[in-house]
Amino acid sequence: MPETYYYHGLLAISVGPWASAQTAPQPGTSQPYFNPAPPPGFDPVSASDADLRTYGFPPRPPLTSAAYPSWIWIVSSAKTRVPNPAMWRTGVNHHPPLQPSATPGILGTNYNSPNWSGLGVTGSSSNYFMNNDSTVTGTWSVPAIVSSLENCSYTPYIASIWVGFDGYVSPGNNDVLQAGINAVACQSYPNPSYYAWYEWYTEGCYNGACYETEVNLPINQGDIIIITVTYYTSSPNGNAFIDDFTTGQYVSVSYNQPSGSSGSAYAVTSAEWIVERPETGGTLDNLTDYGTSFYMEGTYNGYLPGSGPANSPDYFTMQCNSYYPWNPSSACTSTTNLSYVSAYNSSSGQISFTPTGPTITYY
């Protein structure tokens, strides 16, 4: 029987906490697992491609690639793998954009969605992100949130900040391979809480394997976070490399897509950099006020969004609607914006996010 427990003191969940293996099985064996800590003196810059995968580091781009210096910075910043890593399945889900409406934009397509805000790119071919070693990376400073401002009778307030593949381009709207952090108000009132997670959302999957899974990487306000999600053509197909650059601690998790309904398989159509309202218990959470100066720097396969073989970026604006209301519903009409991309610098890959509407009004 699964164990019912309280997740961060907020809600009961009928899935048990569990710790993953400390050594990596061979590809094709049971998933998920934490990639093992490398041996003393391990240098990821000079390591073999096989060792990089064994220890869960992002794959090396070609030495002549413009992405190579950034890769060196990323892998060199990961100093210490979290000792005794553990993971807990939560009751939180990270869906594709719900009921998206699309209009042509100057750069790409503009989407309105009740749960996504951010940027996405689509591949130059139908299977572009099916290539082995496909990566999407995001770097950001953990935003400051002030839990004491939210009315905690309307809990939970969560801002999910993540990078991933798939989710919004047909037929790729039935799964999302992703990893990120959550900034949560009201869990440890009056202080906010932050934690890292990974997920491979798959439509039609109704067991614990489909939930967001928290990992025990300590995260604090102001820390610089680097997350790379990688797709491999051999099992395990997914990897989440989550690094706290400020502390030098990191975890790396390898996992396969859970089984789901027909048409829910990895569709390799897009990559995304998102701030999201996730779902808990079948209801979208209120979005935490994540501050007015938050930005993320993004790349995919070493390219900036809007450059390289992927198409010009698509924009997502988070809006209330009648089917996915705010709590209380009276605070948010069907066209009220909750979060949007206020600026994008195509020369640096810097995506600026801004909360608005009831997100910054406290009830």
Give pTM, 2 decimals: 0.92
Distance between CA atoms of residues 68 and 240, nearest Å: 19
Q: Which pLDDT band, with edges at 50, 70 and 90, does 200 fall under? A: very high
User: What sign for the dihedral angle of Cα 136, 121, 271, 351?
Assistant: positive
Q: Which two tokens stand for residue 64?
A: 């002549």
Q: Which two tokens stand for residue 111?
A: 């989407």
Distance between CA atoms of residues 110 and 108, nearest Å: 7
Beta bridge partners of 340: 354
CATH at 308: 2.60.120.700
Q: How many domains does the chain have?
A: 1
Q: Residue 290: which of 186, 95, 143 has the closest Cα?
A: 143
Q: Which two tokens stand for residue 141?
A: 């400073």
Beta bridge partners of 159: 183
Task: Note the pLDDT of residue 149.
Answer: 75
pLDDT digits (tens, 9 = 90+) for 8-66: 433 333 333 334 434 444 444 567 999 999 999 999 999 999 999 999 999 999 998 88
What domain range is 155 assigned to? Answer: 5-360
3-state helix, strand, coil in the chain (%, to 5): 10, 40, 50
Q: Are 165 and 178 in contact (CB under 8 A)?
A: yes
Q: Which residue is it, tokens 């604006």?
A: 317
User: Any idea which of 121-125, 185-189, 359-363 has the lowest mean pLDDT?
Assistant: 185-189
Range with top average pLDDT, 19-33, 92-106, 323-337, 345-359: 345-359
Task: Note the pLDDT of residue 90.
Answer: 87
Residue spans of alpha helices (H) in the chain: 49-54, 68-77
Please, which contacts does 40-44 make with residues 24 or more away whose CB atoms are closer than 8 Å?
A: 44/75, 44/76, 44/78
CA 189 to each of CA 92, 132, 218, 243: distance values in angstroms, whole numbers, following the listed order = 20, 44, 18, 27
Task: Note the pLDDT of residue 198.
Answer: 97
Contacts of 231 (CB under 8 A, 6+ apart): 129, 130, 131, 132, 133, 134, 135, 165, 177, 237, 238, 266, 268
Average pLDDT over residues 245-258: 96
Q: Are 211 and 183 in contact (CB under 8 A)?
A: no
Distance between CA atoms of residues 306 and 221, nearest Å: 30
* Residue type (1 letter), 334: S
* Residue type (1 letter), 146: V
Q: Mean pLDDT for the chain? A: 87
Q: Are 298 and 226 in contact (CB under 8 A)?
A: no
Distance between CA atoms of residues 173 and 116, nearest Å: 13
